[in-house]
Structure 1
Amino acid sequence: MDPKDGDDDEFGFSRNYFLAKEIGGSVKKSSHKLSDINLVDEEELREAAAGIASKHEKEMASLLNSYKNLYSKWLLELRCGFSLLMYGFGSKKALLEDFASTALTEFSVVVINGYLQPINIKHAVIAIAEVLWDQLKEKRRTPNKIQQTFNSQSMEDLLSFLDGPNAKESDCFIYVVVHNIDGPGLRDSETQQYLARIASCSQVRLVASIDHVNAPLLWDKKMVHTQFNWCWYHVPTFAPYKVEGVFFPLILANSGTAQSAKTAIIVLQSLTPNAQSLFKVLAEYQISHSDEEGMYWLPMNKLYMMCRERFLVSSQVTLNSHLTEFKDHELVKTRRSADGQDCFYIPLASEALEKLLQELG
């Protein structure tokens, strides 16, 4: 091999590296604007989506049918104290419901639809406790006049009942099926801790599905191996998320408050973290002064002082560059006050701003 060839290759790599750096450095800012996102009416978009002919139905049905061979194995693992976690591309709702209706017929099944945003974990625990209480009464032949009330009990009391000595002494089991355990209504840390404790109860067996790529980050080592005690199964179905998707606003649809915040998020995610934090300052001020006529316009000098206090900007020049970027992206509007000072305003309702701040974290 000629040594000169190696030198030429090294020179070529170096040249391409510096060319890429030069080209990347020449791009000063993103050119995305809110007006560039063409939005349509949500109902019209959903009707158009519903009219799209489904493809490969036979193949998907065959794939779903092939998973039935695993039902006996899944049932054995549940009886041995494990929980089942299904992941893979496509909706797994039909798969879990078929498994529950065909293989989990021995005891009661409680279904939690995690894809619903307003879900209440305590209501779900109350439902599980009531089902277990009914099973215990039937096993002991307890008179029906004795009734346990769970609605007034705390979460700790409910969990203590599910894992109490009365439940452990019986052979009663509750199968809990959770569609999208990583759903928006179940995604917070406290709810996941409650779900982990439910799964660790001796009389509860959990079957769940996930779809978010970062879902495993919801759990620590103890939750995964001790409380949930997951058995992971890759079961792609390639089925559309028809039911789950109904409860989410379409990203290309103009559906008012929620969608306005969504489109603003798309633009903000292309900006720097400092720019996002500065935008939060402006949004929080606007929300806190939403009830005051004309006071939600934030003057330049006040904005500069607020940002300096949070160490977001070091000079007026830095602040001006961020504000120029906001104006270029049509995220803010400006007007001149009576004393000749620029004032800034985000053209979103307070409800939309609150949703936007939640998305930005």
Structure 2
Amino acid sequence: MDMEDDLEEVEFEFSRNYFLAKESGSGSSRKKSTHKLTDIDLVDEQKLREAACQIEPKHQNEIVTLIDSYKRLYPEWLLALRCGFGLLMYGFGSKKAMIEDFASTALTEYSVLVINGYLHTINLKQVLIAIAEILLDQVKTRRKVSSRDLPKSQQPLNSQSIEDLLTFLDEVETEDNCFVCVIIHNIDGPGLRDSETQNYLARLAACTHICVVASVDHVNAPLFWDKHNVHTQFKWCWYHVPTFAPYKVEGTFYPPILAHGMETNDLYSVCREHFLVSSQVTLNSHLTEFKDHELVKIKRHSDGQDCLYIPLAADALRKVLSEIS
């Protein structure tokens, strides 16, 4: 009984101390800091990129050996494509150079079209038109043109809808050795992430004379597709091919992480003080033109504020300012 009493006393003291600590801290928890993340003085994005370029690469011999081991897989990858499967490359590092080397080495008999999924805006209809034109050229070269080889109602390709273009690509009749290989760098990129675009790409991959080679880098990329997309349309063969190569090209098109952005409210205050605008509506109308020409872009900071930044290098900005002055 004495031992049980001791245990109860220990538990009581623990509970009492816990609630006393919560009570004593409740007053201080109401005090909120006035500091914001945007107040932190961060290094300039351009200086950061320049410093990153000066970092000496390591383990170059091992990386060369690793890439050579992938090159020995080219025949296997080509066989998978000819059997109707799609190739999906994943792993740490940029796979752009490796996939393009595979295309230039093993896909010489194919017509190849490249989609840069790391771009923020991609015109999927223009991509489908380009693929249709490639197939039509192959059909004309082999002198197999018929009424079924032409788009619906014999209208120009530019006037066709995406649905009509996909139907045409699926029904076009040509020789069995006519193929267009579509390479999609970052099929999980920002310009391709919506479900509608992914469904269109899956339908494209399911076309008889289309094969797809794609890469992914986002950890949640497999969530884009359902079983029908994966097993019936894309028919992915997954290959783990880490290259440890920097994302130099892909990272160029992402907004700067550490750039000094200015909040829209702060910009309005400054413009109003200098009698440049009289209302927020007037400022927004001016900013719209700048945004349309991509001279100014908007990025949402972690504190929820919309900030404006100029996507130009420091040297370019200095040159513009010197010309203005």
Return the TM-score normalized by structure 1: 0.62
1:356 to 287, 300, 314: 300
Residue pair 1:87, 1:236 contacting (<8 A) in 2 also? yes
Instruction: Provide the secondary structure at the position in 2 that maps to 1:63.
Output: helix
Aligned partner (choices 179, 188, 192) of residue 182 of structure 1: 188
Shift in Å at residue 27 of structure 1?
6.3
* Equivalent position to 1:157, from 156, 159, 164: 164
2:116, 2:259 → 1: CA distance?
Answer: 24
Instruction: Pick the aligned partner of 1:166 from 158, 161, 173.
Output: 173
- State how far apart, in whole Å, the 1-side matches of 2:239 and 2:157 are: 34
Distance in 1 of aligned mates of 2:150 and 2:194: 33
1:1-361 correspondence runs (5 A): 33-140=36-143, 149-167=156-174, 170-254=176-260, 256=261, 293=278, 355-356=299-300
- The secondary structure found in structure 2 opposite 1:59 is helix
8 Å Cα contact 2:255/2:299 also seen in 1 = no
Cα distance change of structure 1 residues 64 and 122 upon mapping to structure 2, 3 Å threshold = same
SS in 2 for 1:140: coil
Counterpart Cα distance in 1 of 2:280 and 2:182: 51
- Give the letter aligned to residue 53 of structure 2: A
Change (3 A) 1:71 1:24: farther
Partner of 2:309: none
TM-superposed deviation, 1:206: 0.4
| TM-superposition CA deviations, 1:318-354 (whole Å, max 9, x none) | xxxxxxxxxxxxxxxxxxxxxxxxxxxxxxx887997
Structure 2 counterpart of 1:111, which letter?
V
Bigger drift between 228-237 and 245-254 goes to: 245-254
The alpha carbon displacement at 1:55 in A equals: 1.9
Q: Deviations over 1:167-221 (max 9, x none)?
A: 4x54311111100000111111111111111001011000000001111111122
For 1:233 and 1:64, locate their aligned partners in 2 and report how far apart those are by CA, in whole Å.
13
Shift of 1:97: 0.6
Which amino acid is 2:300 matched to? L
Provide the C-alpha distance between the structure 2 equivalents of 1:30 and 1:65, rounded to a whole number of angstroms.
Answer: 54
Q: State the shift of 1:108 in Å.
A: 0.7
Q: What code does the residue aligned with 2:108 have?
A: T
In the comparison of the two structures, how many residue pairs are matched? 263
What is the TM-score with the length of structure 2 in the denominator?
Answer: 0.69
Amino acid paired to 1:91: S
Deviation track 1:134-160 (CA, whole Å, cap 9, x = no partner) reads: 1111122669xx997322211111111
CA contact (8 A) 1:45 1:253 kept: no
One-letter amino acid of the structure 2 residue matched with residue 159 of structure 1: L
| 2-structure distance, mates of 1:295, 1:83 | 51
Larger mean Cα displacement after TM superposition, 88-97 or 158-167:
158-167
The 8 Å contact of residues 136 and 170 in structure 1, kept in 2 or not, is answered as no
Indicate how the Cα distance of structure 1 residues 157 and 213 shifts in structure 2: closer, same or farther if over 3 A, else same: same
- The alpha-carbon distance between structure 1 residues 95 and 32, as it changes in their structure 2 partners (threshold 3 A), is farther
1:221 maps to a residue whose letter is K
Distance across 2 between alignment mates of 1:32 and 1:220: 44
Deviation larger for 89-98 or 244-253: 244-253
**Any idea what the Cα deviations from partners look like across 1:92-147, whole Å, max 9, x if unmatched?**
0011011111111111111111111122111111111111111111122669xx99
**Please, what is the CA RMSD of the aligned residues?**
3.8
Runs (4 or more) in structure 1 with deviation over 4 Å come to: 21-32, 292-296, 349-355
Partner of 2:269: none
Percent identity of equivalent pairs: 60
Unaligned runs of 5+ in 1: 262-291, 297-348
Q: In the alignment, what sits opposite 1:309?
A: none
